[in-house]
Structure 1
Amino acid sequence: MTMEHASHTVAATGQIQATLIGLPTDVGASRLGAAMGPDALRVAQLAPALQRLGVAVQDLGNLAGPPNPRGERDAQGMRNLAECLAWNRIAHDTVLQLLQQKRLPILLGGDHTLATGSISAVARHCRATGKRLRVLWLDAHSDCNTPESSPTGNLHGMPVSSLCGRGPKSLAALSGAVPALPASAFCQIGLRSVDGSEKSMIRELGLEVYDMRAIDELGMREVMRRALAGVNGPQNSDVHLHLSFDVDFLDPDIAPGTGTPVRGGPNYREAQLCMEMIADTGRLASLDIVELNPALDLRNQTAELVVDLVQSLFGQSTLMRDAP
């Protein structure tokens, strides 16, 4: 099926038209291996799992980009900026094209640097169509570092600051506007490893954050109710909901296959509830799945868990209940 044909099929059938985009790079990460993430998700049968839920799935395969040079920090304190920029331009251009064709892009990473390009495209599309953007950022880390504050220089720690206009200028400008989106559009969930400088940035930007203590105290249901308060209901039909799902959001006891694991993350049921409540909104319109590192996994169990959670994200419920 061509992408042009598929875009007309949406209006005819009401069926979700999703496109998988493999971006096999770990150029922004500290450890090698996330470049194999897209193929691990295919081995775990992501496309057939979605098709069983009635989603029409197209797979663009893995797109080509520059190799990982494993470079040293440059004069501005960053590693591999040119390569990261190239990959993010690929992500931006591909996601934007798919959104314009009324498809739901599913970016298969790769490291979390790629969210700079994908969310820049979503922000550009929302400006053009009058949509209100809401970004849920599921992650153990806030990714709010800047070249000046980063302890490593790895760009997978800078996408949020870049999207909010505080990161490297070339990345911050990808959407055609700086900032790409207001900080108020973000909601970060699951944080538990945040640098001191990132805490200052979170306060300065006024980011909405539910760290693991908030999840412990409030429960995942209440956290998601608050996170989705401006998304649910017919009065919010103009919302484009983007989910940026970093695999290290999950507790490493259930998801060991990631490069920067942090103990104390959401367990299986908490993660399932999170995904089910997002599905209940009916507003999900774009998705990143990043930081899956099969080199650190056990028999692809993390990829299989991610596929299970993505099924919940697209409407597979663990309970016998009618859709809201």
Structure 2
Amino acid sequence: MATNPEIPPVVTSFAPSGTQSLPPRNIRVLGVPLDMGASRRGVDMGPSAMRVAGLEARLESLGHHVSDGGNVAVDIAETQNFGNPNARYLKQIADTCTRTAAAVSKALEEGMTPLVLGGDHSIAVGSVSGVSDFYRRQNQKIGVLWIDAHSDINTPDTSPSGNVHGMPLAALLGLGPDLLTNIGGFAPKIAPENTVLIGVRDIDSAERANIRRAGIGEVYTMRDIDERGMRAVMEEALRAAGRGTAGYHVSLDMDWIDPEDAPGVGTPVRGGATYREAHLAMEILADHGRMLSFEIVEVNPVIDEHNRTADLAVELACSAFGKKIL
């Protein structure tokens, strides 16, 4: 029977349930408890909630070596002036992202896989900048999988709220304020042809224009997932993000998942990925083996139910790092 040479075979493991067959990684956990990028407070407690859910132990049970690098220093919103209402707390967020980039780059230099825990999605400017800088110094580029209900590609000129957590992808593509776009002294951090949006379902008109302006070629909405299935979408997405790159950074916003399964998120939107669709996406990601770094953002324990969302975030991280059913 003929096979598609572009789609790798499914990796099957016959290890006991809960183990993984992929090579063990050295993982560096980094918390970034930032919530100044959003209107609703509480995601600053996300890193703690995921740690409480047993992140380190559960990854180690898969055979990985995990070290916790603690939290990146973050200003307290109540002690700061929010500044420009079109980009609230921009300087403070840029400073946090600069520190995050340095921590991520250092982890990669030490042979570690960064696992960044947010905080709101504005931290991705720091995470991706650090990964991009590390591989740029090796004359390589990276791809990005942006798994989110939102496209996060507003700028201060287009944002209806002035919340920076709606701007990080724009900044990484070279749009928006210099404080964000030029972290590390270079821009853009990623190429549009290697940037993939997965599961978006809440995009405003200005963001649609910015997606076209940036030249992003691969945008998979929830309708695409509904009609074509998660496997087809993920296989195409991984090919696009990996084409001509060292690999890809995965930025997982927990609001990508339907609020029925992930109620404790910064900006919930109905109609998201199901529990099994989310795990399937992570399992396919692990099968390909080209993930360079991973981040989980927008877990909000204040509105969660018995830490359900943080627990699911940890489950998904385990699937992304190779946990198998068989």
TM-score between both structures, scaled by the size of structure 1: 0.89
Aligned to 1:130: 139
Query: How far apart are the structure 2 equivalents of 1:58 and 1:73?
Result: 34
Q: Distance in 1 between matches of 2:31 and 2:324?
A: 27
User: Which string of whole-angstrom CA distances, capped at 9 and with x for unpartnered residues, describes residues 274-300 of structure 1?
Assistant: 000000011111111110000010000
Counterpart Cα distance in 1 of 2:80 and 2:41: 13
**Alpha-carbon distance in structure 1 between the residues aligned to 2:190 and 2:312:** 31
**d(CA) in 1 for partners of 2:79, 2:251:** 25
CA contact (8 A) 2:193 2:241 kept: no
Q: Which amino acid aligns with 1:55?
A: H
Q: Is the 8 A contact 1:27 1:69 kept in 2?
A: no
Q: CA deviation at 1:22?
A: 1.0
Which of 56, 68, 74 is 2:65 aligned to?
56
* Contact 2:173–2:188 (CA under 8 A) maintained in structure 1: yes
Q: CA offsets, 1:165-189, max 9 Å, x none?
A: 1111110001321212212221010
Q: After superposition, where does 1:245-256 map in structure 2 within 5 Å? A: 245-256=252-263
Aligned counterparts of 2:179 and 2:244: Cα–Cα separation in 1: 33
2 CA distance for matches of 1:267 and 1:30? Answer: 26
What does residue 278 of structure 2 align with?
A: 271
SS at match of 2:142: strand
| Aligned twin of 2:224 | 214
What letter corresponds to residue 238 of structure 2 in structure 1? L
Task: Specify whether residues 238 and 146 from structure 1 end up closer, same or farther in structure 2 by C-alpha distance, changes over 3 A only.
Answer: closer
CA contact (8 A) 1:73 1:153 kept: no
**Percent identical:** 44
CA positional deviation for 1:136: 0.4
- The equivalent of 2:9 in structure 1 is none
Shift in Å, 1:58: 0.1
Aligned to 2:206: 197
- Gaps (5+ residues) in structure 1? 1-13
Q: Provide closer, same or farther for how the CA distance between residues 151 and 30 of structure 1 changes in structure 2, counting only shifts above 3 A.
A: same
Per the alignment, residue 179 of structure 1 pairs with: 188
Q: Quick one: which amino acid aligns to residue 319 of structure 2?
A: S
Deviations 1:250-290 (A, max 9, x none): 10000001110000000011111100000001111111111
Deviation at 1:129, TM superposition (A): 1.5
Tell me whether 1:156 sits opposite 2:165 in the alignment: yes
1:317 equivalent to 2:324? Answer yes
Alignment map for 1:83-122 (pairs within 5 Å): 83-122=92-131
Query: Aligned AA for 2:106?
Result: Q
Q: Which moved more, 1:113-122 or 1:69-78?
A: 69-78
Cα pair 2:156 2:176 within 8 Å, conserved: yes
Counterpart residue identity of residue 282, structure 1: G
Q: CA RMSD in A?
A: 1.7
State the 4+ residue runs in structure 1 displaced beyond 6 angstroms: 70-73
Structure 1 residue 76, shift from structure 2 partner: 6.6
The question of whether the paired residues in 1 share the 8 Å contact of 2:141 and 2:190 is answered with no
> Any residues of structure 2 matched to 1:278-297 within 5 Å, and which?
278-297=285-304
- Distance change (3 Å), C-alpha of 1:36 and 1:76: closer
Q: Which residue of 1 aligns with 2:234?
A: 224
The amino acid that maps onto 1:111 is D
- Change in Cα spacing, 1:127 to 1:152, as seen in structure 2 (3 Å) is same
Question: Would you say how many aligned residue pairs link Structure 1 and Structure 2?
Answer: 303
Q: Normalising by structure 2, what TM-score?
A: 0.89
Structure 2 distance, partners of 1:163, 1:307, is: 26
Matched, 1:302 2:304: no
Name structure 2 gaps, 5 residues minimum.
Answer: 1-22
CA shift in 2, pair 1:165/1:76, >3 Å = farther
